Structure 1
Amino acid sequence: MSESHIDPDARAHSERLQALIRSEIQSAGGAIPFWRFMELALYAPGLGYYSAGATKFGAAGDFITAPELGPLFAECVAEAVVPVLQQLGPQAHFVEVGGGSGRFAGDAITRMAQMDALPARYSILEPSADLRERQGEYLRQRLDASQFRRVHWLERPPQDEWHGVLFANEVIDALPTPRFAIVDGEVMEEHVALDGDGGFKRVDRPADALLSAAVRHVERQLPQPFAEGYRSELLPQLPYWIQAVIGGLRNGAMLFVDYGFARSEYYLPQRNDGTLRAFHRHTVSGNVFANPGLQDLTASVDFTALAEAGTGAGFEFSGYCSQAAFLIGNKLDERLAAHEAGLEDEAALYALRQQAKQLTLPAAMGEGFQAMGFARGVDFEHAFLAGDLSHRL
C-alpha cells in the first residue's frame, strides 16, 4: 500500500492504532505474540480494521466475498440448510457469524421465505457496532417488516440452549493466528517487536506448551518433519473457538465456507513462510505490518484442523467439498435459471453468468474456497453429495 495513496485522515487513524500497539509492546517487555498484533490490527475497539468505519466489502472495499457478488451464493446455502431447519421445526434458529454488509442475510432470508422455511430467528453474531448499524440499515430496506422482525443482532454467542444452523463464511481466516518457526530444531513462536525507527519487526521467542504440542501434533501427520527455518500459522485455539461460538447449540448443523487446504497441502515443504497475507483495495501484500487498521490480515484455513475441532465439539462430520461442488450440489443451476428467466437485458444476463463463473471456476473462487459441515441430531450429508474431498483430510 503506497503511502502516497493514503488520505490524511486514514493515515492519522493508522498512526493512532500504531501508537496503541507500540505501547502494548513496550508494556509487554519489548515484544508481543504475532496473534496479539493481528488481534489489535483487526479488532482494537474503534481503531482495528473490522472495528472502524471504512468500507471493507465489495468493489469499493478491499476484497469481495461470495455474497457480495450477487444472490446465487446465499440462495444455494439456503437450499442446503432449509432441510435442516425443516427437520428441527418452527422454532429453528439460524445464526450467521460475521454478517459483512448484510447482503448474505438479505438474500438468504428472501430465499428461505420463498421456500416457506423461515427460521423463527435469524441472528447475526457481529461484534462490530459499525457493521451492526450498516447491516441493520441495509436489511430494514431490503426485507419486508415481518421478515425483518425475525432478525436479531448478537454481540456474543447464544448461551441458552438453541436448535438450528450456525453459518460462517470467511470468518476462520480472520481469527488472530499464532505463527511458529522451527529454529535449531525447536518450536519458536513469532512475536512482534519495535525496530530502531519505531516500526514493527518479527522476532522469535520459545513457544509455550500449547503451541509447541500443536505443532508437533501436525508434524507427526506429515510425510517428513518441518525443515529448519520453516515458518507458518497454526490455530491451537480453534477447538475452543468452535465450542465458544456455537454457545448452547444442541441439535442442528454447522456450515463453514472459507479458503484453505487440507493439512497435508497446507504444510507443504515449499510453503515455508505460511499463508499469511494482507489485502488492501483488492491487492494482496506480503507486508502485514504496513498501515495497521487500513488493511485486512488473513491466513488460510487448515480444514483438517477444522474437522478435528468440529467433531471434538460433539458433532458428526457431514462432508467437505470445494465451493464449486457445494454450490452445484445445492441447486446452483436451478437458481441461475430462475434469475435468467426474469431478465431480458443482455448486460444483466452477462453479469449474472459472470457471478456464477466467479463462484465456481477453479481460477476464481471455485476451488480455493471450500465448504465443510457438521451435524448433531439432524441429517446434513445431503449438502455434500457432490465432489467429496474428505479423503484429503
Structure 2
Amino acid sequence: MNILIKSAKIIDPKSDFHNTTQDLLIEKGVISSIGSNLKNPNNFKEIKLKNLHISQGWFDSGVSFGEPGYEERETIENGLITAARSGFTSIALNANTNPIIDTNADVAFVLSKASNSPVTLLPLGALTRSSKGEELAELFDMKTAGAVAFYDYKAPVTNPNVMKIALQYASNFNGLVCSFPQESRISRNGVMNEHISSTRLGLKGNPALAEELQVARDLFLLEYTGGKLHIPTISTAKSVALIKDAKTKKLDVTCSVAIHNLCFTDEALTDFNTNYKVLPPLRTQADVQALIEGLKDGTIDMVTTDHTPIDVEEKKVEFDHANYGTIGLESGFGALRTVLTTKTCIEVLTKGKTRFGLESWPINIGNPLNATLFDPDENYTFSLKDIRSKSKNAIFEGYPLKGKVYGILSNRKIVLN
C-alpha cells in the first residue's frame, strides 16, 4: 500500500501530530513521512478529500452477521465490506450463528472467511455450550484458536454459579468473560421499556430493574472471583452508577453502550415500527443522558453499533412477534456525532481495541497505518441508499445524521466509498 494523503486533520491524542493538518506518505503500509506539502516523487496514489480527517482505525465490540447458518441475513464477506465502508478496521463477531460458535473449529471457520479482508475479524466464542447457559463451552480451546472473549449473545446466564465458574476458569488464561445484562425472570416477555410509554401503547414492559439486578449480581461475582468482565450494551442510569462504583473499587470491568440507545427513547415506539424493537430496549431521556455522561467521564468504555441484520419476514410482523435488532454499522458514526464531539467519538470508537487484545498503532512516522478517513461535519438524512447490508432493518432510516465516512486504510489495503 503506497499512498500520499493530502491535508488530513489528525485526530489521535497518542500521535505527535494530534489536532494538526498534515500530509501523510505511506510506503508499503508504513507511515514514512508526515508534514506539510509533501512531494510525491514516486507518483503514488493521492487521496485528497473535503474536510478530510484521519484517526486510528475504529473498532466495534459487538457485530452480528449470520454466516454460518443465516446467510440470508448477512454473509461474512459482505458484512466485512460493509464494516470497512462504515469506517471500522476491526470488529468483534458475535457467536449467534447456526451452529453457535462454541468450539475451536467454529472459531477457525469464521477466521478463515475473513483471512484476506481489510477488516480484522475478532471472533467471540460462546460462553456456554450452544449459548444455553448450562455448562461452559470449550473456552481455552477457543482462545487458542483465536477467540478474543466469550459471550452468549443476548442470552443472560441465569445460573450465578455458572458465571462464577466462568470468571474463575477464564482468569487462568487471562480470558475476557462477557455477560448480557438482563435478569430474564424479571424481564420475562417484555418487548419495550416498562414505563409510561409501554402503558400507553399497551405493550408488555421490560423494566430497568431487570438489567440492574443482573449488573449488580455480576459485579458481586467479579469482586468475589477476580477475573475480567465485560458488560455489553448497558442501557440505564443505574447501570452506569453501579459500574462507576465498581471501577472505584478497582474491579477489572468494562462496558459498552449501543449507539441507538444514545439517540432514541421509548417515545420513538409510538407508531409500532419494529425497527425500534431492540434489546436492551430504548429507555427514558434520563437514562439516555446518563449514558452520554458515562461515555464522557469514562465510566462507559466503548460504543457498539450492535449491528444485527434481521430478514424482512421477522420484522414485518406484529410488534410482539418481531425479532429484536437493528443494523447499525452504516449509520454508526453519523449517529454518534449527533450526540458527541468529534474528539469523544473517536475516543470511544478506538479505545476498546486493547480490551479485546488488539494492538493500537498511533499515527506516527515508522508505524503501520491502520486508519479511518472521515468528514465529521457533513449533515445528511440516512436512507436506504446508504445501506450496504443484505438486511435493511435500520433504526436510523429517515433520521438526520452528522458525519460521513470516506473509508479505511488497514491490513495494507484501501477501501474508499
Q: Taking structure 2 as the reference length, what is the TM-score of the superposition? A: 0.31
Q: Taking structure 1 as the reference length, what is the TM-score of the superposition? A: 0.32
